[in-house]
């Protein structure tokens, strides 16, 4: 190792194993090595000697354990990177590795026990080439607009439908779009749904926005069709809106006004609101399906999924939560979950859409699993209507 060797803390309650770790680090060229028998001792030590580059952590010990120690130092700047050395089961070690990353620490790897000198030295070398994570930014305090402003925005048609394409992972063909909400504020610029959606919900304006959004999107769908593009429009529907007995009638009127068949529309309903769907909601789901509309259970896996409800409710699409894709490379279990959901969709005759695809490596992994349709920033970000039409123009032969 170079003369710029890392400062290393060994957190291990077993004296012999601690001495073995120290000896291996010395043989690897580390000179500044500190030892602690539990988390409390380690924190006191860091207060005296200052930050370290790497902490080699056991997890299970008397006193403050390694899990609590990692939690305490996360984001503090006292430790740069973590190496886990524990005899706990692999799934628990993976979970702690995930926790390390979420705490803005570099996770160098999991060595298990007993320590192996070559594996340890490999991780020490890896540390030289890993850039430390940027400091966690202070989240801006988002001011949610008041009822008067939101009602005015609705009346002035400042709330706009934006569109994010869904695509075939193998060919890149566009398979439809998800219709999202943005506020084109005259003074503040483009605002995300977080600035106004809570007010729409609190003030009972969700249906007003849904109809306005559908009117905009179905008009765009007509325009796209005239230009040779056949696009399915997917709208987000809150589970609470299903209890409105007027919902399906108004949807039917909108479809008729724009000359759109029900098959050209999908309604995405988040799974968390469906576990106890009342009879009124079930009736709305059935009627939407009878009109030919597709029904997608959105963010599947983000809540407490009920397989029984999935079988009972008339959905024909599963939209898998983006979190599974986000952790695809770090968490092997995510591959197994996605593979299982694809098999479940096939068994239930339901298509599966994967959200959150941000890299080509993710796309390729999903393709290898048998996934065909996805959505995410790797392919396209949400865009305004005219921008979508211009974006589609060179893809005239690549629409599903």
Q: Where are the domains of the chain?
A: 8-129, 147-395
The pTM (predicted TM-score) of the whole model is 0.71
pLDDT tens for the chain, residues 1 to 400: 344 688 999 999 999 999 999 999 999 889 899 999 999 999 999 999 999 999 999 999 888 999 999 999 987 889 999 999 988 888 788 878 888 878 888 888 888 888 889 989 888 888 776 655 555 444 455 688 999 999 999 999 999 999 999 999 999 999 999 999 999 999 889 999 999 999 999 999 999 999 999 999 999 999 999 998 999 999 999 888 988 889 999 999 999 999 999 999 999 987 666 655 566 788 899 999 999 999 998 877 655 455 666 777 889 999 988 888 887 876 778 888 899 999 989 998 999 999 999 999 899 999 999 999 999 999 999 999 999 999 998 775 566 6
Give DSSP secondary structure letters for 199-210.
Answer: HHHHTT-HHHHH
| C-alpha span between 398 and 45 (Å, rounded) | 61
Tokens of 282: 């079930």
Q: With respect to CATH, is domain 147-395 assigned 3.50.50.60?
A: no
| C-alpha span between 376 and 355 (Å, rounded) | 6
Q: Mean pLDDT of all residues in the chain?
A: 87
Domains 8-129 and 147-395 share a fold: no
pLDDT given for residue 387 in this prediction: 95
Q: Which of 383, 22, 352 is nearest to 177 (CA)?
A: 383
Candidates 68, 201, 355, 386; catalytic one: 355
pLDDT given for residue 397 in this prediction: 53
Residues 6 or more apart whose Cβ sits within 8 Å of residue 301:
271, 320, 321, 323, 324, 337, 341
Q: Is 248 in a helix, a strand, or coil?
A: helix
| C-alpha span between 6 and 348 (Å, rounded) | 54
**pLDDT tens for each residue of 224-242:** 999 989 999 999 998 889 8
Say if residue 246 is exposed, middle or buried (CB neighbours under 10 Å; 0-12, 13-18, 19+).
exposed
Torsion region of 374: left, alpha or beta (phi above 0 gives left; psi -120 to 50 gives alpha): beta
Q: Are 318 and 297 in contact (CB under 8 A)?
A: yes
Q: How many other CB atoms are there within 10 angstroms of residue 385's CB atom?
A: 20
pLDDT given for residue 138 in this prediction: 46
Sheet strands (E) in the chain: 8-11, 33-36, 52-57, 79-84, 106-110, 159-168, 174-185, 189-191, 233-237, 265-270, 294-300, 317-320, 351-354, 373-375
pLDDT given for residue 134 in this prediction: 52
Architecture, CATH, for domain 8-129: 3-Layer(aba) Sandwich (3.40)
Q: How many other CB atoms are there within 10 angstroms of residue 92's CB atom?
A: 14
Place of tokens 């799934």: 91
Whether 355 sits among the annotated catalytic residues: the reply is yes
| C-alpha span between 50 and 396 (Å, rounded) | 61
**pLDDT tens for each residue of 33-59:** 999 999 999 999 999 999 999 999 999
pLDDT given for residue 139 in this prediction: 45
């Amino acid at each position: 190792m170079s003369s710029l060797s890392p400062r290393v803390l060994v957190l291990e309650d077993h004296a012999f194993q601690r001495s073995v770790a120290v000896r291996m680090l010395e043989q690897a060229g580390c000179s500044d090595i500190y030892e602690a028998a539990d988390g409390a001792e380690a924190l006191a030590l860091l207060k005296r000697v200052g930050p370290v580059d790497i902490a080699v952590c056991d997890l299970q010990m008397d006193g403050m354990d390694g899990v609590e120690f990692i939690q305490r130092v996360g984001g503090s700047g006292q430790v740069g990177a973590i190496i886990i050395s524990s005899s706990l089961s692999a799934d628990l070690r993976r979970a702690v590795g995930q926790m390390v990353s979420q705490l803005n620490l570099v996770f160098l790897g999991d060595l298990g026990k007993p320590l192996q000198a070559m594996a340890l030295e490999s991780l020490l070398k890896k540390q030289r080439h890993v850039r430390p994570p940027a400091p966690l930014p202070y989240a801006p305090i988002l001011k949610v607009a008041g009822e008067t402003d939101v009602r005015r925005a609705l009346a002035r048609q400042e709330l706009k439908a934006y569109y994010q394409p869904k695509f075939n992972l193998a060919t890149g063909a566009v398979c439809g779009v998800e219709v999202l909400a943005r506020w084109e504020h005259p003074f503040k610029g483009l605002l995300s749904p977080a600035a106004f959606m809570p007010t729409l919900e609190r003030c009972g304006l969700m249906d007003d926005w849904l109809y306005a959004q559908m009117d905009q999107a179905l008009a765009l769908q007509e325009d796209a069709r005239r230009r040779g593009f056949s696009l399915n429009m997917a709208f987000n529907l809150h589970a609470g809106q299903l209890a409105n007995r007027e919902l399906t009638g108004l949807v039917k009127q909108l479809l008729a006004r724009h000359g759109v068949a029900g098959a050209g529309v999908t309604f995405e309903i988040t799974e968390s609101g469906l576990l106890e769907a009342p009879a009124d909601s079930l009736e709305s789901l059935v009627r939407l399906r009878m009109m030919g509309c597709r029904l997608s259970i959105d963010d599947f896996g983000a809540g407490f999924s009920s397989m029984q409800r999935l079988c009972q409710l008339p959905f024909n699409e599963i939209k898998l939560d983006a979190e599974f894709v986000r952790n695809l490379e770090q968490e092997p279990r995510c591959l197994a979950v996605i593979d299982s959901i694809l098999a479940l969709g096939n068994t239930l005759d339901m298509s599966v859409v994967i959200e959150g695809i941000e890299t080509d490596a993710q796309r390729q992994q999903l393709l290898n699993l048998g996934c065909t349709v996805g959505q995410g920033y790797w392919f396209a970000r949400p865009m305004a209507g005219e921008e979508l039409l211009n974006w589609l123009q060179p893809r005239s032969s690549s629409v599903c």
